[in-house]
Amino acid sequence: MPGYHWLPASLQRHLLDREGRRDATRLSRDVDGLADRLAEVRGGDAELDDAYRAFVHLPEADPVMAASLDLAGFLLAWCRCRHPGRIADLGSGFTSWLFRRWAREHGADVEVVSVDDDPAWLERSREFVADRGLEPGGFVGWPGFRADGRAFDLVLWDYGDVRTRAECMEEILGRVAAGGALVCDDVHKRRIARAAAALGRRRPVVSYSLRAYTLDRWGRYAWLARPGAGGA
């Protein structure tokens, strides 16, 4: 993930778009079946669309703060392809519903842990999950998650302010199990992008821009890292 922030905006977008297309090709090549699962989700998912509309219209919710529908679709496709047994949802909200919906769909033992530092928002996320008929367990605070120390097959890193995300990124990568993945949202923000790039230089990871899959109308997009990964 090269640093393009010093370039004119139009050139930045061109280079980032090119990088996103290249990495989409790499990821589809490296992860068997992902392209097919993405095509399924993009073909339409009424339950996903309905839940997203309901979530962003909650009085407490803000569409700019919520995970985008584009990111949710990618995460659902990833789960259907890779079948993670343990998922860390760092930044509770719509993805708390999404991962538990997939756990119900999978029909096997899947553990989802949703994390936040705002008890009221954590409870509201739990209520949203329960109101839509899904298992509402596994909601914990940030200190409890950090003290737990277990590894996860999929970690969504969409928690906290820019400083927290940048400073804790290496710690969070360390919570990814062998063969698992870290998905970090909001890498359009300079400090997060720099932290992601630095992490790739310090640790044995294979990383991918998810711009081609997750770029939304606010310019947000995500990044994926697979610790020590080779092929699928």
Q: Please state which of the four CATH numbers 3.20.20.140, 3.40.50.150, 3.60.40.10, 3.30.450.20 is assigned to the domain occupying 9-227.
A: 3.40.50.150
What is residue 190's three-state secondary structure? Answer: helix
Judge whether residue 2 has pLDDT over 60.
no
SS (H, E, C) 55-107: HHCCCCCCCCCCCCHHHHHHHHHHHHHHCCCEEEEECCCHHHHHHHHHHHHHC
User: pLDDT tens digits for 152-206?
Assistant: 999 999 988 889 988 899 999 999 999 999 999 999 998 988 888 888 778 889 9
Please state the pTM of the whole predicted model: 0.92
User: Does the pLDDT value for residue 232 go beyond 70?
Assistant: no
pLDDT classification of 65: cutoffs 50, 70, 90: confident
Amino acid present at 89: D
